[in-house]
Amino acid sequence: MSFDLVFFGGTGDLTWRKLMPALFQAFRHGKLPPGGRILAVARDERSDDEYRAFIKERFVEVEPAKQPSSEEFARFADLLHYRRMDLSKPEHYAGLKDWVDQRGADTVVLYLATAPYLFPVICEQLGAAGLNGPRVRVVLEKPLGHDLASAQQINRVVRSVFTETQAFRIDHYLGKPSVQNLMALRFGNALFEPLWRRESIANIQVTLAEALGVGTRGDFYDQTGALRDMIQNHALQLLTMIAMEPPSTNDADAIRDEKLKVLKSLKPFTPESVARDVVRGQYRAGTIAGQPVPGYLQEAKVPAASQTETFVALRTEVQNWRWAGVPFYLRTGKRLAARQAQIVVNFRQVPHPIFPGSARANKLVINLQPEDGLELHLLAAKGSGQGEMLAPVSLDLDFDKAFTTERVGAYERLLMDAIAGRLNLFVRSDEQEQAWRWVEPILDTWAADPNGPRAYAAGTWGPPASSAMVARDGCTWDEEQ
């Protein structure tokens, strides 16, 4: 299957830091379909060879095991091309169409790795140039809008040019092998599904924690914040996969229909519930791995009086028969105590304990990063004598050890899916808009709140109010147990 893959924003951070290394890994693994061309477009003037040299220099920043040899890069570079484009000029889109039409590839994938405010302009121009035929797909990188109104405007323009099956709204978390294993765990095994409901589960926690700060992205991050950057997309997508009903098939729309039902069942926020059930924070100077680090307000390109949140913890519920009354806690933040992404399913305690000592409830920990695997925490008897207390034991499955072959990275998987036209791991427009609809009351309440985010020291797990929020339900965060 021949393909043309076009990157708008071809010299930007996302393209050279994530997308090109992912494409090279697909090329190295023999998974990139033959007969492909990769075209980068950007404003500055470069030749193909100059662009290839630009990418080669930046491959030095890739982890050593994934860096190409000189011979490998030379073969990969034959696929790379460059074209200067001013995204506001119709004649440049006409030139791009001529370039694409010269060969007539089976599939044309247009990847918008640009700022979201450019999406409507680019899509309108693509439509006017005729670059929206049935063999064309458009990939839209997050964040898709800044709020519900901007997301709806982007979607209106996209729908006026492309059909829904041509639009691939990417959330790279959905491409992670560990996230795909969440679906396999639930719907490929009979073990957990009978227990996956309110009668057996006490609460569910989703944590997406980073030890890093905003780095050089202070200007971007300050216009975004943790709620838009992580909760509205990544965390909510994980929640839908945890809480969704079993889809009838593994087809894209069957899966996305069930995810949408979860989003529509989330308990809506009011100003009162935001004050009670949402904690926002902003990191101050502290210590990470024994090294002092600055606070958010001291980071480069961050305004001195910024009230942008770098931490969010919230409590919600899925209001349906399966999950009624079960708290779902979502948490994300920068400069936290560890880099950790995990889902913790806390089961209820046994209804009538017969062993001495405190009865610790079972829990299932689904690790997403940096480790990728499952931990099932149980209680067992050592066999040391009559009346002994049960001891905690765990069944620990490390997927990297279980699967000896090299596993496919998130962007590599999603790029291959876009080329092949597989929509399962991409977000549909109604899903994305419903997620914005749910978080918007939080944004509105914060906009009217003069107090701003709570301070927390870098290297901790966020403001103490986060622990107090879950303690009201008689719960604790996993690291506090």
Active site positions, annotated: 234
Written as six digits, the tokens of 69 are: 């040899």
What does DSSP say about strands 167-170 and 136-141: parallel, antiparallel, or unpaired? parallel
Q: CA 273 to CA 316: how far, in whole Å?
A: 10
List of E strands, 175-326: 201-209, 278-284, 286-288, 291-293, 311-317
Q: CA 432 to CA 415: how far, in whole Å?
A: 20
Residue 83 β-bridge partners: 41
Residue 78: closest CA among 122, 118, 38: 38
CA 390 to chain CA centroid, nearest Å: 39
Are residues 42 and 16 in contact, defined by beta-carbon separation less than 8 angstroms?
A: no
Secondary structure element (H or E) that encloses residue 364, with its range: strand 363-369
- Phi, psi of 213, rounded to the nearest 5 degrees: -90, -160
21-51 burial code (b ≥16 CB/10 A, e <16): bbbbbbbbeeebeeebbbbbbbeeebeeeeb
Q: CA 208 to CA 331: how far, in whole Å?
A: 6
DSSP 480: G
Q: CA 315 to CA 205: how far, in whole Å?
A: 9
- Rg (Cα) of the chain, in Å, rounded? 24
Which region, left, alpha or beta, applies to residue 40 given φ > 0 means left and ψ of -120 to 50 means alpha?
A: beta
Give the SS3 label for residue 14. helix
CB within 8 Å of 192: residues ≥ 6 apart: 185, 186, 364
CB within 8 Å of 390: residues ≥ 6 apart: 355, 357, 359, 360, 379, 380, 381
- Which amino acid is it at 148? L
Residue 294: CB atoms within 10 A of its CB come to: 16
